[in-house]
Each structure stands twice: as C-alpha cells, then as structure tokens.
Amino acid sequence: MSTTTQVKIHNFSAGPCILPQEVLRKAAESMIDYDGTGLSIIEMSHRSKPFEAVMAKAQSLVKELLGAPDNYQVVFLGGGASLGFHIVPLNYMKPGGKAAYANTGEWAGRAVKESKLVGETVVVASSEDKNFNYIPKGFDIPADADYFHFTSNNTIFGTQFKQFPKSAVPLICDMSSDIFSRPVNVADFALIYGGAQKNMGPAGATVYLMDPDQLGKTGRKLSPVLDLKNHASKDSMYNTPPVYAVYVSMLTMQWMKDQGGVVEMERRNAAKSKLLYDTIDRLPMFKGTTAIEDRSVMNPTFVMTDAAMEAAFDAQWKAAGVSGIRGHRSVGGYRASMYNALPIESVQVLVDVMEDFAKKNG
Ligand SMILES: *Cc1c(COP(=O)(O)O)cnc(C)c1O
C-alpha cells in the first residue's frame, strides 16, 4: 500500500459511508491476524472464545452507548433494515390486529408496504403531500394499534424527528441513519432497529435493540429465522451472525465511547450541521429543501437556485476532494451526509467551496 497521500477525500456518502480511520486500520489488521491468534477474524468459528467475546462486547456497547435498560436485548441479523420492515409486523402485529405508521419518506413508505403484506396497517401521519419535506406533528395514534412505527431520520429527504412521538402503544423505530447520533430514552421503545452501514459500521449487520417483555406476544407462528424472540434467546447466535460486520461495528462503537459517547456525537453533529445550514441560508445561490425546524442533522439536503450552475459547482467540489454529495437519484439536488465519523474539517472544506463558488459566480 502506498503511504503517500493524494487529495484527501472528504466523504459525504449517504451509506455505506465514512467510518473512523483508526477503525478501518484495526479492521484491516484483524482481517489478516485477529489479536495474535494467527487467524483472520473471518476465518474463525462464531462459537470460538474470541468471537463470542466480540459479540458480547458489541451487544453491551449498543446498550451502554444508548443507556438502555439492563433487561433490553440486542441481536445482529442479516437482511438490512429492509428485512426489518417485514420482521417488525411479523413479531409485533397480532393476527387480526393492526399497526400504525408514520409515512415520512422512502424508507418509511417501504416499511408501510411490508406491514400491509402482514396485516391491517394504518398510516396515521404522512408528509407525502409535500414530497416529504417536513415531519408531521400532533397526530393521534389509535389506542387499539398493536404498535406505532416511525423513522427517526429520513435519509433521502433530509428530515428528522427532533422530538419523538408519545405513544400509549409500543413504540418501534427505524433508526438506521441517526442511531448513536444523539441520546434517546430507550425505555420508551419496544424496539429500535437499523442497518449498520450509517453510524454503526459496515453493511451486513442489522441491529435490533428490544424490550424482551414485548416479544413473543402475538401468538403468530414464525420461522425461527424471522423470530426476534428466538434470536434473542440464542444470544444472536441462532445461526451464523455476520461476523465481520459485527466486529467492525464493535470497533466503531468502541471509538464512539472513547470519543465521549452519544452526548459528544450530538455536540459534534450539531456543530457540523450548523456550519453547513448557515452557509446554505446565507448564500442566495443555495436553498435548503426541507422545513427548517425538521432539518436532519445527519443528511442536509439542498438545491442550487439556478440548476444551470450545477455542472460548474460539481467540478469545483470534486477538485477539492469532496465526495458523495449528489442527492439521491429519486430527489436530485445535493445531500451532504455528515455521519458521526465525518470530521468538521471536511464540512469546512465543502463550505469553503460553496463560498468561493458563490463569490465567483453569484
Ligand atoms: C439506509 C436505510 C434503510 C435501508 O437499509 P438496508 O440495510 O439497505 O435495508 C432503511 N431505513 C433507513 C432510515 C435508512 O437510512
């Protein structure tokens, strides 16, 4: 490997995305020789002592970082959050019962579709009328729903719940793109789940953080691979877990803890997003796409007021080493994802490019 650095890449990718450099280095080492065992972390049994310790550490770090109640359980499964969309109704909706959902974006909409495959699904709040550019507020959750599901951060449209809905029925959240970005009161949730490939680690593992008292209550007969209670009772080892993704997630969570935990992550993320949003708001050439009070701290989205300028702007940020800020293919414009591992220096580089471009072309 070359040790000379080229232009530093400022990685704003929406996911998979930036991970801490020191985590990547450690992960690379362990790919060849895990902790002096002479074996790669991916060529040892998941039931070996070393890997069992990795799994236990990963599970305990999820709970420790989020301050979860002691009895909550953690499993890591394959299939992404997308399989989670189907696992949720299977595990929490009673046959003949119903589920309530907030539809606030692409992923939330997919969760609704999967729930409809399982049973009655009511959308009690939606921002579809304005192309998902805001977070619905003040909606009612029916008391007879088996659960209420929402998406804490809408990765594609760039909105985020700043306050979580209060719910008398079990609360379930897809936190894929802002888990570990801020403190949450885990005890309010029956289930928090998310794909690892944003703040937590590499793609391939999906984390489920569950209140065990809310599991196994539907009477629905499930395949053991889709049964969260089964996975929890087998300590996430019912079948072979995604060992490398769990390992690198464990390293990333350890990094977060060493940096000061989710309180420090929240402080850094607030500073990064303020820097970018202030720039968007100050320069007439750029415009935010969402309601200001609902702006995502993780995935700021914006457009250029004159789309004809995009090509020239693109050339300039690319030359500065900025990577991955084109908006999702379904939305267009720009999205600068700023996950936990992205340093504020990278945001400063992007902001400097925007300022410079506006000065020369405004
Ligand atoms: C990325 C993302 C998903 C999709 O996750 P997969 O692991 O690709 O299935 C789901 N929900 C949210 C909020 C996301 O950001």
Structure tokens given for 200: 């937590």
Q: CA-CA distances (angstroms) from residue 253 to 31, 61, 232, 289, 340?
A: 18, 6, 20, 32, 11
**Taking residues 149-169, what's their average pLDDT?**
97
Task: Please list, residue by residue across 344-353, b when 16 or more beta carbons sit within 10 angstroms of its beta carbon and e when fewer do.
Answer: bebbebbbeb
Token pair 């119903």: residue? 98
Q: What is the pTM of this model?
A: 0.97
Asked if CATH classification 3.30.360.10 holds for the domain at 22-259, the reply, yes or no, is: no
Which residue, by CA, sits nearest to atom 13 of ligand 1? 176
User: Which of 88, 153, 177 most suits a substitution to test ligand 1, by most atoms within 8 Å of the C-beta?
Assistant: 177
Confidence of residue 9 (pLDDT cuts 50, 70, 90): very high
Whether the per-residue pLDDT at 223 is higher than 90: the answer is: yes
Token pair 């304005």: residue? 130
Whether the per-residue pLDDT at 24 is higher than 70: the answer is: yes
**What is the atom index within ligand 1 of the atom nearest the CA of 82?**
9
**Taking residues 181-199, what's their average pLDDT?**
98
Q: What is the CA radius of gyration of the chain?
A: 21
The string of pLDDT tens digits covering residues 125-153 is 999 999 999 999 999 999 999 999 999 99
Percent of the chain with pLDDT over 70: 98
Q: How far apart are CA 84 and CA 350, in angstroms?
A: 34
User: Which of 157, 176, 329 most suits a substitution to test ligand 1, by most atoms within 8 Å of the C-beta?
Assistant: 176
- How do the domains of the chain map onto residue ranges? 22-259, 261-361
Whether the per-residue pLDDT at 333 is higher than 60: the answer is: yes
Q: How far apart are CA 154 and CA 337, in angstroms?
A: 11
- CATH number of the 261-361 domain: 3.90.1150.10
Q: Do domains 22-259 and 261-361 have the same CATH topology?
A: no
Catalytic residues, which ones?
Answer: 107, 174, 198
**What is the atom index within ligand 1 of the atom nearest the CA of 154?**
13
DSSP-derived secondary structure letter, 159: E
**Taking residues 348-358, what's their average pLDDT?**
98
The more confident residue out of 193 and 328 is 193
User: For position 5, what pLDDT does the model report?
Assistant: 57
**Taking residues 340-350, what's their average pLDDT?**
98
User: For position 3, what pLDDT does the model report?
Assistant: 55
Q: How far apart are CA 84 and CA 87, in angstroms?
A: 5
**Helix/strand/coil for 94:** coil
User: For position 332, what pLDDT does the model report?
Assistant: 87
Q: How far apart are CA 208 and CA 91, in angstroms?
A: 12
Alpha carbon of 176 to ligand 1 centroid (Å): 6
**Mean pLDDT taken over the chain:** 97
- Any residues with Cβ below 6 Å from ligand 1, and which? 15, 80-82, 107, 151, 155, 174, 176-177, 195
Helix segments in 194-292, DSSP class H: 228-233, 243-259, 261-282
**Taking residues 157-185, what's their average pLDDT?**
97
Which residue, by CA, sits nearest to atom 7 of ligand 1? 80
User: Which of 13, 17, 82 most suits a substitution to test ligand 1, by most atoms within 8 Å of the C-beta?
Assistant: 82
Structure tokens given for 258: 């060493």
| Contact between 244 and 204 (Cβ < 8 Å) | yes
Structure tokens given for 345: 């220096």
